[in-house]
């Protein structure tokens, strides 16, 4: 959400953001509603002033004048009360529109329609050259008896997964490595729930818009978040933090639940796109300063790259274009990791800087050096998301006999083993 004063004074820039991000919103209508609300509030204030002035006359009035004055006071009170519903309705309508106003993209963001217009910034790591016919993720998993997609589909339907034996241990080793790595870089580890109140999804910016993606629990005022970003973003909702408490940097592991309503037919095989997964999320709350925000952006990106380098995985960094970055972002890079069986880089991380757009919806403020209450800036990036990362991990590190090379960084979490599986 942007500051209404900013929208009034920068309507052109906001309309440009609406246009390049492909948001369906009429800023002129929002500004008209804003003016109507201001007029309405001014009318009510004038009537309240008249009512107060009138009330002051009553004690000094003569017995003849008093009834008229008292009646005038009652009439004014009635008129003010009668305007209340219109005032409420206007405020609600304006807030609904304000929640949909997109953030202003950073000057460096390429204008584009969708992920085809994203810009590759750089590639890191050597692509594997196999002297044998490489297997894909499902063949590797089922070859080792580490998963049984048919069986779990009977229990949980499509886009479900189950890992067994060393496959299960590998998933947890990756999670533990990422949590330990980030703790080593000063991020406060959190292990959190994905059960959230609906308003937290408005706070994070997922609502309005993402309703289709979110599981809702019938009869409970709860939903299942698709990322720990949602609960962590609302941990301090409505609070006034002190400047010295910032920056806060968390690495939060949680379940993540997604309906994948719009993904019919895509990635239906294996571990890439499932309804429930686990993610280690990097989340930062910092001071309202773009330079500091951009520094944290580089830090979050660097952490994810360091984790991928430790997992010895080739990847590329891509800058998201305006049409593929979502309403709330100022800046967004995806990291895509090489998947041999698809001969493609696939998204495994998503790094975002949101300025104060998310904090304003969340009511996340701090008292700055001058004592002024300002909205903080927030950022998030994937630390690691399993089981998706297991796809490049298994496929890139497979050996001719179907066993898996274990990158050094993971060995401490796998009893020191350098190889997983049976030939």
* Residue 371 C-alpha from the chain's centroid: 29
User: How many C-alpha atoms does 94 have within 13 Å on its Cβ side?
Assistant: 18
CB of 409 to ligand SSA, least distance (A): 18
Out of 380, 396, 398, 403, the residue judged to bind ligand SSA by CB under 6 A: 380
| Closer residue to ligand SSA in complex, CB, 270/407 | 270
Q: Catalytic annotation on 388?
A: yes
Give the containing element (helix H, strand E) for 194. none
Non-local CB neighbours of 340 within 8 Å, separated by 6+ positions: 127, 128, 130, 134, 392, 395, 396
Given the residues 350, 352, 361, 365, select the one marked as catalytic.
350
Given the residues 72, 100, 123, 273, select the one marked as catalytic.
273
Q: Catalytic annotation on 258?
A: yes
Size of the site for ligand SSA (CB under 6 A): 18
Give the containing element (helix H, strand E) for 26. none
Piece of the chain touching ligand SSA by CB under 6 A; list 85-93, 177-185, 341-349, 362-370: 341-349
CB of 250 to ligand SSA, least distance (A): 12
Closest alpha carbon to 301 in 389, 412, 192, 185: 185
| Closer residue to ligand SSA in complex, CB, 27/304 | 304
Given the residues 43, 50, 347, 411, select the one marked as catalytic.
347
Contact between 329 and ligand SSA (CB under 6 A)? no
How far apart are alpha carbons 326 and 100 in whole angstroms? 11
Q: Catalytic annotation on 204?
A: no
Per-residue binding string, ligand SSA, 62-91, x by CB under 6 A, is ------------------------------
CB of 175 to ligand SSA, least distance (A): 13
CB of 366 to ligand SSA, least distance (A): 22
Piece of the chain touching ligand SSA by CB under 6 A; list 276-284, 291-299, 309-317, 412-420: 276-284
Contact between 273 and ligand SSA (CB under 6 A)? yes
Per-residue binding string, ligand SSA, 289-318, x by CB under 6 A, is ------------------------------
* Residue 239 C-alpha from the chain's centroid: 19
Out of 135, 206, 329, 349, the residue judged to bind ligand SSA by CB under 6 A: 349
**350, 360, 286, 383: CA torsion to nearest 10:** -20
* CB-based contact 391:346 (threshold 8 Å): yes
Piece of the chain touching ligand SSA by CB under 6 A; list 4-12, 194-202, 317-325, 381-389: 381-389
Non-local CB neighbours of 240 within 8 Å, separated by 6+ positions: 365, 366, 367, 373
Out of 21, 135, 279, 361, the residue judged to bind ligand SSA by CB under 6 A: 279
C-alpha distance across the termini of the chain, in Å: 55
Out of 166, 171, 229, 324, the residue judged to bind ligand SSA by CB under 6 A: 229
Piece of the chain touching ligand SSA by CB under 6 A; list 22-30, 149-157, 275-283, 311-319: 275-283
How far apart are alpha carbons 380 and 297 in whole angstroms? 8
Non-local CB neighbours of 128 within 8 Å, separated by 6+ positions: 134, 314, 338, 340, 396
Helices (H), 185-239: 198-204, 229-233
Restricting to residues 132-191, name those near ligand SSA by CB under 6 A.
none
Q: What would the 3-class secondary structure string for 247-304 be?
A: CEEEEEEEEEECCCHHHCCCCCCCCCCCCEEEEEEEEEEECCCHHHHHHHHHHHHHHH
Phi/psi region, residue 205 (left: phi>0; alpha: psi -120 to 50; beta: rest), is left
Q: Catalytic annotation on 350?
A: yes
Piece of the chain touching ligand SSA by CB under 6 A; list 5-13, 65-73, 164-172, 374-382: 374-382
Q: Catalytic annotation on 259?
A: no
* CB-based contact 271:388 (threshold 8 Å): yes
Out of 361, 365, 388, 397, the residue judged to bind ligand SSA by CB under 6 A: 388
CB of 169 to ligand SSA, least distance (A): 19
Out of 66, 347, 402, 411, the residue judged to bind ligand SSA by CB under 6 A: 347
* CB-based contact 399:240 (threshold 8 Å): no
Contact between 381 and ligand SSA (CB under 6 A)? yes
CB of 349 to ligand SSA, least distance (A): 5
Using CB under 6 A, list all residues that contact ligand SSA.
227, 229, 258, 260, 273-274, 277, 279, 281, 347-350, 380-382, 385, 388
What amino acid positions are annotated as catalytic residues?
258, 273, 347, 350, 388
């Amino acid at each position: 959400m942007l500051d209404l004063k900013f929208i009034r004074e920068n309507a052109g820039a906001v309309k440009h953001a609406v246009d390049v991000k492909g948001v369906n919103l009429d800023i002129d209508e929002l500004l008209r509603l804003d003016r109507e609300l201001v007029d309405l509030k001014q009318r009510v204030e004038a009537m309240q002033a008249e009512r107060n002035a009138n009330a002051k006359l009553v004690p000094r009035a003569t017995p003849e004048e008093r009834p008229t004055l008292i009646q005038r006071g009652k009439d004014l009170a009635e008129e003010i009360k009668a305007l209340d519903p219109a005032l409420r309705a206007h405020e609600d309508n304006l807030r609904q529109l304000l929640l949909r106003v997109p953030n202003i993209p950073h000057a460096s963001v390429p204008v584009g329609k969708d992920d085809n217009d994203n810009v590759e910034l750089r590639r890191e790591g050597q692509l594997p050259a196999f002297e044998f016919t490489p297997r894909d993720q499902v063949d590797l998993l089922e070859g080792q008896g580490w998963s049984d997609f048919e069986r779990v589909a009977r229990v949980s339907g499509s886009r479900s997964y189950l890992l067994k034996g060393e496959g299960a241990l590998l998933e947890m080793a990756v999670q533990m490595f990422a949590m330990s790595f980030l703790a080593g870089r000063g991020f406060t580890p959190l292990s959190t729930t994905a059960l959230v109140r609906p308003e937290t999804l408005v706070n994070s910016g997922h609502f309005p818009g993402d309703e289709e993606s979110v599981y809702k629990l019938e009869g409970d005022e709860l939903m299942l978040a698709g990322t720990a970003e949602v609960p962590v973003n609302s941990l301090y909702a409505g609070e006034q933090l002190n400047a010295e408490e910032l920056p806060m940097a968390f690495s939060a592991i949680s379940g993540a639940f997604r309906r994948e309503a719009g993904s019919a037919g895509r990635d239906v095989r294996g571990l890439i796109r499932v309804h429930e997964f686990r993610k280690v999320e990097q989340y930062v709350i910092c001071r309202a300063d773009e330079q500091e925000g951009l520094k944290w952006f580089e830090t979050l990106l660097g952490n994810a790259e360091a984790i991928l380098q430790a997992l010895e995985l080739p990847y590329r960094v891509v800058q998201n274009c305006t049409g593929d970055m979502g309403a709330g972002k100022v800046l967004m890079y995806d990291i895509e990791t090489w998947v041999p069986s698809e001969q493609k880089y696939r998204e495994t991380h998503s790094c975002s800087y949101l300025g104060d757009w998310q904090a304003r919806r969340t009511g996340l403020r701090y008292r700055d050096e001058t004592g002024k209450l300002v909205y903080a800036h927030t950022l998030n990036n994937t630390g690691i998301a399993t089981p998706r990362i297991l796809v490049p991990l298994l496929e890139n590190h497979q050996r001719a006999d179907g066993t898996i090379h274990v990158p050094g960084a993971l060995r401490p979490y796998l009893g020191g083993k350098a190889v997983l599986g049976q030939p």
